[in-house]
Amino acid sequence: MLDTLIVNIGQLLTMEGDGPVKGEQMKSLPLIEHAALGIKNGRVAWIGSNEEAEKMSASYIIDAEGKLVTPGLVDPHTHLVFAGSREHELSLKQQGISYLDILKQGGGILSTVRATRAASEEELYEKARGHLDRILSYGVTTVEAKSGYGLDVETELKQLRVAKRLNETHPVEVVSTFLGAHAIPLEYQNHPDAFLQQMVDLMDVMKRERLAEFVDIFCETGVFSVEQSRIFLQQAKEKGFAVKIHADEIDSLGGTELAVEVGAVSADHLVGASIAGIHQLAHSNTIAVLLPGTSFYLGKGTYANARAMIDQGAAVALATDFNPGSSPTENLQFIMTLAALYLRMTPEEIWHAVTINAAYAVNRGHEAGRIMIGRKADIVLWEAPNYMYVPYHYGINHVRMVLKNGKVVSERGKGDVSVS
Ligand code: IZC
Ligand code: ZN
């Protein structure tokens, strides 16, 4: 006897397969029509046709009403834990002041650093929990969360403790990344290497207290160079961390090549990635995490070359980059629309990019991003009639119900999500 049986599924995107999905393979979508799905002990226990489901018994039956059912989405790049907001930067941008100029003048990331240092751990937790509720409501069951708004020992630890507590108390799984190398704090402006050394020393505490799984760095003009990033990420690897990199987001510095060189699990942004960098990426195990919401919001009209990446064989994932400056949105479905329009990705490629490839970008490919027997039942029931409909009808939320580990954790029209 099953715990839960979902019947009358119009399209079930199982994403069944093995490993990350690369290049050409992203064009075909593993799906079953007129399907049903059984859950037991929080895991997928049975998959069959809607007719076969009549023979099955379960304590709880959900009618999908002929609509779409998919794996829970994975958002593999967010800056979830922060204080304050930066709406004033929108008008600065309209006046032609760039993102990097705002940062150079002590605003941008550094203004969020001031607010985050001043906030209590409880305030940070409550705010991030609200954002995480909204992330879940859009169908995301696993999210990556970066620190990087402390840039000092105390506040970086505070942010990561909040992420850990969210992982323990909220239905969404939160994968933590230490981004102490997000910007140079004002007190270290003339001593960036001393600052990086302090962040390297802090990694030992992160490891001991299991506060982060990944280490990341913002490799960008006026922030950290390729050379500084190489040394920093190598030190992180020596201390046992998996690494990520904010690579070629605004200027083309060679962060994409560096990601491949250091064996990063993911290289993120890649708007300015060189032809050579894309070629190397396509022949590596590094996942390309693209963030078209950031390109959209920076408003310069330049987007990552997703077509070249996929055509050459890379595994591409998509993320919101949710943060208070360059991408203030929790809506991964809107990112799917941007990927269709501006990255020229097909709906089939987009679904791989927000499920299994996104799961691999946070080292969760073995347990998230696919609906297969024995896997955790992280599942979204959609109001949408088919998978193409979600990126098409844009700017709204198409989710009807979200299950995490087999339990309903978010449901349209039933008030707030439960916090277990
Ligand atoms: O707060 O501006 N790009 N870091 C690198 C960000 C965007 C987040 C921010
Ligand atoms: Zn970022």
Nearest atom of ligand 1 to the alpha carbon of 86: 1
Task: In whole angstroms, give the CA distance from residue 365 to residue 361.
Answer: 8
pLDDT (0 to 100) of residue 415:
47
Secondary structure (3-state) at 99: helix
Q: pLDDT digits over 116-132, tens only?
A: 999 999 999 999 999 99
What phi and psi, each to the nearest 5 degrees, are found at residue 146? Answer: -100, 150
Secondary structure (3-state) at 343: coil
Tell me which DSSP letter residue 414 carries: S
User: Is 93's C-beta closer than 6 angstroms to any atom of ligand 1?
Assistant: no
* 53 Cα–ligand 2 center, Å: 44
User: Is 77's C-beta closer than 6 angstroms to any atom of ligand 1?
Assistant: no
Of 218, 217, 222, which Cα lies nearest the Cα of 233?
217
* 348 Cα–ligand 1 center, Å: 29
User: Is 245's C-beta closer than 6 angstroms to any atom of ligand 1?
Assistant: no
Structure tokens of 317? Answer: 């994932």
**Atom 6 in ligand 1: which residue has the minimum CA distance?**
326
pTM over 0.95: yes
In tens digits, what is the pLDDT along the chain, a chain of 420 residues?
999 999 999 999 999 999 999 999 999 999 999 999 999 999 999 999 999 999 999 999 999 999 999 999 999 999 999 999 999 999 999 999 999 999 999 999 999 999 999 999 999 999 999 999 999 999 999 999 999 999 999 999 999 999 999 999 999 999 999 999 999 999 999 999 999 999 999 999 999 999 999 999 999 999 999 999 999 999 999 999 999 999 999 999 999 999 999 999 999 999 999 999 999 999 999 999 999 999 999 999 999 999 999 999 999 999 999 999 999 999 999 999 999 999 999 999 999 999 999 999 999 999 999 999 999 999 999 999 999 999 999 999 999 999 999 999 999 875 444 333
* 198 Cα–ligand 2 center, Å: 21
Cross-strand pairs, 410: 402
List of residues 6+ apart from 215 with CB closer than 8 A: 177, 178, 179, 203, 232, 233, 236, 241, 242, 243, 244
pLDDT (0 to 100) of residue 414:
52
**Atom 3 in ligand 1: which residue has the minimum CA distance?**
326
User: Is 112's C-beta closer than 6 angstroms to any atom of ligand 1?
Assistant: yes
User: Is 82's C-beta closer than 6 angstroms to any atom of ligand 1?
Assistant: no
pLDDT (0 to 100) of residue 340:
98
Of 410, 371, 415, 396, which Cα lies nearest the Cα of 13?
371
- CB distance 215 to 177 below 8 Å: yes
Cβ burial, residue 417 (10 Å; 0-12/13-18/19+):
buried
Q: Which ligand is nearest to the CA of 249?
A: 1
User: Is 108's C-beta closer than 6 angstroms to any atom of ligand 1?
Assistant: yes
Structure tokens of 306? Answer: 């997703």
User: Is 323's C-beta closer than 6 angstroms to any atom of ligand 1?
Assistant: yes
pLDDT (0 to 100) of residue 293:
98
User: How many residues does the structure list for the chain?
Assistant: 420
pLDDT (0 to 100) of residue 313:
98
- Give CA separation, 317 vs 38, 92, 341, in Å: 28, 31, 16
User: Is 246's C-beta closer than 6 angstroms to any atom of ligand 1?
Assistant: yes
User: Is 255's C-beta closer than 6 angstroms to any atom of ligand 1?
Assistant: no
* 321 Cα–ligand 2 center, Å: 5
